[in-house]
Amino acid sequence: MSQRWIGPAVALAVPFLVAAVATFGLDAYVQLIVLGVAINIILAASLNLVNGFCGQFSLGHAGFMALGAYSSAALSQHFHPFSGPMQVLNFVVYALFGGILAGVAGFLVGLPSLRLKGDYLAIVTLGFGEIIRVVFLNSDSLGGARGIHGILGFQSYFVSCVFAYLCMTITFLTLWRWTHSSYGRAFLSVREDEMAAECMGVDTTRTKVLAFVVSSFFAGLAGSLYAHIYTDLNPMTFQFNKSVDVVIMVVLGGMGSLSGSVISAFIVTVALEMLRSVGDLRMVLYALLLILLMILRPEGLLGSKELSDLWRKYARRRT
């Protein structure tokens, strides 16, 4: 029984370790990349819930991220309940606000569109993402085309890193426990054969909407993190390309594999930075990668297995 706290303890220690290494061991450019990886992991894992586990195709993740980012930034401009050493709890409030708003939006978008076939959901979510972006672009109270600058940031890099990675850990653990529960099995059944799932008593619409809402919540959370880390928001950041970025991360890692999403988020974030030297060709190679991936290895790195499955497979072989 004493072994049960090892997992959570390690999980809680990881953010502090990563933050410590990053703050004292790396230069400013790499430090930002480290934060970017945390945000992308949250985005990829949450999208994997809808695309990978539920088999639906959502192309609007950037829209929910934008909602979370803008709402969090707007709230932070007017509302500071905590101050002093407890300042960091402010960001918890902002993150929850951003996430909940995005989740509500996910409900409003998902409920009507998840009744339709897969292709339609893709277009509706794409359209929703674009509408959100156009609305933010045209609303001068939220900065319009120039965006919002000087958003409230964290006190220090160490705090921001710990916060970001704590969020990532919480997201990952929540999604992991959830997908390994009966809800997770409902998602998988909807993915495999919706008609059969419906016949077996799984309320497919409710299941899909649930996955969509939770996915949007975490996207909003990631958006809120983005706003307070980069302290600068611009509608151009949340274009369709951002949604595609996240889709690529999910596909590369394996649709249906949370650990795969973590790995691929890391790879994609780092690779994008490293490819900056290639200049314009970077995005061409990026798109080519996606095409080749879908033709040659559509299941991505880990397919629908998790790292723990692979470890168990090889550990068992030795005995």
Chain contacts with other proteins (rule: CB under 8 A):
51, 55, 57, 59, 112-113, 116, 118-120, 122-124, 126-128, 130-131, 134-135, 137-138, 195, 240-241, 244, 247, 251, 255, 280-281, 283-284, 286-288, 290-291, 294-295, 298
Minimum CB separation of residue 112 from other proteins in Å reads: 5
Q: Shortest approach of other proteins to residue 254 CB, angstroms? A: 13
Position 128, amino acid? F
The CB-of-67 to other proteins minimum distance in angstroms stands at: 15
Closest separation in Å from C-beta 110 to other proteins: 12
User: What tokens does 17 get?
Assistant: 């370790």
- Token duo for residue 247: 């889709």
Nearer to other proteins, 137 or 307 (CB): 137
Nearer to other proteins, 134 or 274 (CB): 134
The answer to whether the CB of 211 falls within 8 A of the CB of 54 is: yes
Nearer to other proteins, 22 or 49 (CB): 49
Residue 134 C-beta: closest distance to other proteins, Å? 5
Measured from the CB atom, is 20 or 200 closer to other proteins? 200
Q: How far is the CB of 116 from other proteins (least distance, A)?
A: 5
5 burial via Cβ count (<10 Å: 0-12, 13-18, 19+): exposed
Cβ distance to other proteins smaller for residue 99 or 253: 253
Question: What gap in Å lies between CA 67 and CA 116, rounded to an integer?
Answer: 24
> Among residues 151 and 247, whose Cβ is nearest to other proteins?
247
Instruction: Give min distance, CB of 58 to other proteins, in A.
Output: 11
Amino acid letter, 27: D
- Decide whether 20 or 281 has the Cβ nearer to other proteins: 281
